[in-house]
Each structure stands twice: as C-alpha cells, then as structure tokens.
Amino acid sequence: MKVDLLEMTESGGCSAKIPPSKLDEILSYLPLPVDPNILVGIDTHDDAGVYRVNDDLALVFTTDFFPPVCSDPYEFGQIAAANSISDVYAMGATPVIALNIMMFPSARLPLEAYASILRGGSDMAAEAGLRIIGGHTIEDYPPKYGLAVIGYVNPGRIITNSAAEPGDLLILTKPVGTGVILAAQRMKMAADEDVSEAKRLMKSLNRSAAEVMKTQGVKAATDITGFGLAGHALRMARAGNVTLKLDLSCLPLIGDTYRLVDDGCIPGASFRNLDFVEKDAGFSPDLDYNLKMIAMDAQTSGGILMCVKPDSALSALDDLKAAGMTASAIIGSVTAREEKHLILSD
Amino acid sequence: MLIVDTLGQKCPAPLIATKRALKECDAGDSFQVITDNKTSFDNVCRYLRDNKTEYTCLASDSTWTITVRKVEAEVISSPAEDYCLTEIPHFRKGDYIIAFSSDTMGEGDEVLGRKLMLNFIKSVRDLDDLPGSMVFYNRGVMLGIEGSETSDNLNFISQMGVKLFFCATCIEHYRPGKINGAAILSNMFEIAQAMASSSNVIKP
C-alpha cells in the first residue's frame, strides 16, 4: 500500500503551531521556575531551555513535533528530526541524545509507515551525531512526529535570542518559502523542482550554520520556524530590547515563492503571524504586499537568523556558502530600540 | 454577477480564487465569494482590506458571502446595497439610526463609560423598534472587536436584521484585530448617506 501522509492533514509542519499571540498569553500565566542554574528559561521565548550543570557544561533541552509536511513517511521523519535538532544548533550547542515523540494511527496506516518515519528520524539523527535512546508513541490521527533533544554547550558560549546588539548585521542561512510551497503543493500549483528544493532545505541540518557561528563568535541567533521570519525576528528584538530592520528585497526565496504569493497562495498561518507581528512592527509605506506576507510565512526546519558584527559579516557569509548554505544573505541590521521592535522595508 | 464558490475549500484556496477573480474582472465589476470556512473568510477580508479593495460581507448560519468590487484609483460611491442579512420580519424597525463615535458612553470616567456603552447596546436588543441601522466610526469601531461582550451583543442585534456599518478607514487606523463577521465594512459616503436618509440619528 502506497502511503500518502499529506492526505491526512490540512496544516502540516510548523504551520500547525498555536498562534504566537495566544501562546504568549498562556505562557504569561505560568509561574516561572526559579533556579540559578536555569540560564535560558521560558521568559525570553528562546529556541531551547538551557540548564547549567557545572562551570564547563550546560544542557540545551528542546522539543518539537508536528503533522506531516510531505507524502513520504521516510522523508517526513527526516524533516521532523532536522527541525527538532535545529533548536539545539540555534543555541550554539552540540546535539547529544534524543527521544522520539510519535503519534500514530495504527488502525489507519500500515506499520511500515511507522517504521519508515522512525527510520527517517534515526538517519537524520545519525547525520547529526545524535543518539536516539528511547521514545514514546500514542495512538492519534493524523500522525505527528518529532524529537526531544539534549545538547551540550559551554555555559560561556551559549548563543541566545536576547543578545542582539545595535550595529549587528543579520544573516539568514536558508531561503524562505516552505509554507507557501507546501500550500501550493496541496493546491497542485507548485512546480516539482520547487517542492524538491523545499524538501531538500527542510532536510538539511543547521549544523554548518552553528559551526560558522562558533568560529565567528556569534552571540545572538534564532532559527526560523512556525512564526515566520518576521515573528522570530520580533521575538529576538523584544528579548534583546533592540529594533531589527529587515530589508525584504534581499530576502532569498525558494523558487517561485513570490509568484505563488502573488497568485494568492498565502497560507492561513501567515495571517496568524501577521496578527502577532503587526502591533509591534513598522512597515515602510510602499512595502510590497507579497514580500510582507512572505516575511510572515511559517517555515518548517527553516534557516538560522544570526547577528554578526559588521567586520566579520563578509567572512561569515563566505564560510556559510563554502559549507553549502549557498543562499545565505545579509537581510538587515540591528539598531538601538526604536518605537517599534521590527521594521520591514523593501 | 460572477459567483466564486469556494464551499468546502480551505485556506489558501478561497484567497487564490478571490485573487484570480480580481485579476480577471474589469474595473467597476463586482463578484461574490462564498465560503463556509471562518478562517478563510477572515483571511480573504484581511487581504482585501490590506489591499484597499472595496468589499461588503454578509454572514448567515455557516456561510459567508463577500461581495468584492474592483475599483480604479478613487473609491466609487456604492449605494447601500440591499443585502438583506438573515432578516427576521418579526422585529419592527423605527425610522432612526444609531451612530457610535466612541467605545464609551458619555464623558467622564472611562471604565464607567465602557460599562454604560455595553448596557446601552444590550438595551437596544429590547427596544420595541429597532434602529434602521447602526454606524460605527472613530473609536466606535472598537465595539466590534470579535470576542468582546459588546461584539457578541451586536451580533445578536445583527441577527435581528439590523445592519452594522463599520468605517473601514477607522479600522485601518486603529487596527483593533478581528472585527465581528456581521460587520459591514463601509466607507464615509455610505455612513453619511445612512445618517442623512434617516429622520433621527441617536448618538449615545
């Protein structure tokens, strides 16, 4: 039996996240645990939590899981795992161990699909040098998969989303548009080569981006996922109490993303993200509407947005391109806090 | 009029269909988009509003109809169109309209003003003669924020057949978030016409 996971879900991948504005409200009601060893907690909405074990070691701990983004179970496993591990890389850490998190409808799908998803996850983990040492599965429809990952980092070398400083330049390591391309695929509007390119990007680990950040001494970064480039940039600006200015004309895009958006292929998640972003964002008066909505596009396993000092920006860019992140581009800069935390222009 | 039927379709299909119709029709033409998905309805409206395209909405049980008019440059005056909502003849309407220019009632303490306004809107439901229509401008549009108590009561009044005209420029200005689906996004001409053609305008 040929399994098509896409038939089972309406919003796959990170588009399935709870709207960011709702999440922020819910989190604000939760008590913050107090412990001097919590180096990064819930309060800054960072990519992962960080816990200090001793002066040389801190644990980076994160989880992510979501419904299918593609038809093939093996590829889905790879993409979900790459996405889960990405948060560890975004903190400048090395992934070490992980647990599988799986929801699977065993009455509706053959167990081979279950095995394929896990195999995809396991192969991706092996590529990252990560050991999967257990997991948990429950019955649920549609299927969902991801990892809970622990990474190691030296407490003095943590990369957070709150360390952006005025003067920094912003580099994005992957082109944007997975949400648009996946929606277009459902609508049978996407070109095959764009779908394969989106899948290739979602399966590519942010490992080399993390290595470049270490060699270039980057202190601030975040990975771009469900809240879109604008949503994650805004969180970074808030956490660091600065303003991020993005020049969307420099934004690298996957294939035909722009034309698809111009045809109205704007996923629902983009409007949710716009609701979250616009209160705290300024838009240049003639900002192209399509580019604005692309900045809201929910990414699955997206790239790293890193803050780089101007004198090392070009060498960081060279390193990233040499490491295979060929679409990497400088897409904006950090300034002292202005009235709005985020400014989008083109 | 061209009907774009998107019943049963989910995001972004209704928006794609709307965009296609907008591209294909000529300036001055109108068409209707029908959807049974609330999120798609909200997103299409949001898209039209962001792109300054003239539209009106009509909500019934679980379908939404958006009438879109392709305009060139300046806004052409559109007569208050005869979209009867789910009008229930049982409710009698008086020859007056209510204009809301603020989300508070009277001057003085703001908290009290809000409370009074909610009570006023609740009372409208129980009037012997309902208003012909209700218009909302300036901070008055805040009364339509979806999920608020005033909005829930306005929804009820709209189901009794009273049209709710909301100033689109004001919503654009305050960007208050989602507005009640029963609201008819309107321009100043429509609002002025509604006020001029009624014998009495009540301003709470």
CA distance between the termini of chain A:
48
**Cα separation of B107 and B104, whole Å?**
8
**Which residues have a Cβ under 8 Å from the Cβ of A29 and sit 6 or more positions away?**
none
**Cα separation of B68 and B195, whole Å?**
24
For chain A, say whether B8 makes contact (Cβ under 8 Å): no
Q: Can you give the pLDDT at residue B77? A: 31
Q: Which residues of A touch B66 (CB under 8 A)?
A: none
- Interchain CB distance below 8 Å, A271 and B43: yes
Q: Can you give the pLDDT at residue B93? A: 77
Query: 3-state class of A223 per DSSP?
Result: strand
For chain A, say whether B145 makes contact (Cβ under 8 Å): no
Do β-strands A57-66 and A49-54 pair in parallel, antiparallel, or remain unpaired? antiparallel
Residue B180: is its pLDDT beyond 90? no
Of the pLDDT bands very low, low, confident and very high (cuts 50, 70, 90), residue B70 is confident
Which tops the pLDDT comparison, A295 or B151? A295
Residue B59: is its pLDDT beyond 50? yes
Of the pLDDT bands very low, low, confident and very high (cuts 50, 70, 90), residue B85 is very low
Residue B5: is its pLDDT beyond 90? yes
Residue A13: is its pLDDT beyond 70? no
Of the pLDDT bands very low, low, confident and very high (cuts 50, 70, 90), residue B74 is very low
**Cα separation of A100 and A106, whole Å?**
17
Q: What is the mean pLDDT of residues A190-213?
A: 96
Please tell me the number of Cα atoms within 13 Å of A278 on its side-chain side: 18
The tokens describing B30, both together, are 């109108």
User: Could you say which of A14, A70, A265, A307 is catalytic?
Assistant: A14
A137-141, B71-75, B176-180: which has the minimum mean pLDDT?
A: B71-75
Q: What is the mean pLDDT of residues B160-188?
A: 83
Q: Can you give the pLDDT at residue B88? A: 38
The tokens describing B120, both together, are 């006023």
Cβ-Cβ contacts under 8 Å between A and B: the total is 43
Cα→Cα distances A98→A52, A93, A118, A272, A304, Å: 18, 14, 13, 31, 21
Compute the mean pLDDT over every residue in chain B, rounded to the nearest whole number: 82
Above pLDDT 70, what percent of chain A?
98
Q: What is the mean pLDDT of residues A232-236?
A: 96
CA geometry: angle A96, A201, A288, nearest 5 deg: 125
**Cα separation of A331 and A312, whole Å?**
15
Residue B152: is its pLDDT beyond 90? no
Q: Which residues of B touch A275 (CB under 8 A)?
A: 177-178
Q: Can you give the pLDDT at residue B89? A: 40
Residue in chain A lying closest to B12 (CA)? A267
Which region holds residue A45: left if phi is over 0, alpha if psi is between -120 and 50, else beta? left
**Is this prediction's ipTM beyond 0.85?**
no
- Please tell me which of A94-98, A285-289, B82-86, B129-133 the model is most confident about, judged by mean pLDDT: A94-98
**Which residues have a Cβ under 8 Å from the Cβ of A144 and sit 6 or more positions away?**
A65, A66, A67, A101, A102, A103
Of the pLDDT bands very low, low, confident and very high (cuts 50, 70, 90), residue B79 is very low
Q: What is the mean pLDDT of residues B93-115?
A: 90
Q: Tell which B residues from 109 to 128 touch A, by Cβ distance under 8 Å.
A: none
For chain A, say whether B42 makes contact (Cβ under 8 Å): yes
For chain A, say whether B15 makes contact (Cβ under 8 Å): yes
**Which residues have a Cβ under 8 Å from the Cβ of B22 and sit 6 or more positions away?**
B53, B68, B70
The tokens describing A36, both together, are 């001097």
**B145 strand-pairing partners:** B179
Q: What is the mean pLDDT of residues A322-341?
A: 95
Q: Minimal Cα–Cα distance from A267 to chain B, Å?
A: 5
Pick the residue of B23, B41, B43, B44 with the most A CBs within 10 A to test the interface with A by mutation. B43
Above pLDDT 90, what percent of chain A?
84
Nearest to B50 among A10, A265, A289 (CB): A289
Residue in chain B lying closest to A275 (CA)? B177
Q: In terms of residues, how long is chain A?
A: 346
A28-32, B118-122, B148-152: which has the minimum mean pLDDT?
A: A28-32
Q: Minimal Cα–Cα distance from B79 to chain A, Å?
A: 29
DSSP string, chain B: -EEEE-TT--TTHHHHHHHHHHHHSPTT-EEEEEES-HHHHHHHHHHHHHTT-EEEEEE-SS-EEEEEE---SSPPP--------S--TTS-B-SEEEEE--SS-SSS-HHHHHHHHHHHHHHHHT-SSB-SEEEE-GGGGGGGBTTSHHHHHHHHHHHTT-EEEEEHHHHHHH--S-B-TT-EEE-HHHHHHHHHTSSEEE--
Of the pLDDT bands very low, low, confident and very high (cuts 50, 70, 90), residue B75 is very low
A70 catalytic? Reply is: no
Q: Can you give the pLDDT at residue B146? A: 86
Q: Can you give the pLDDT at residue A262? A: 95
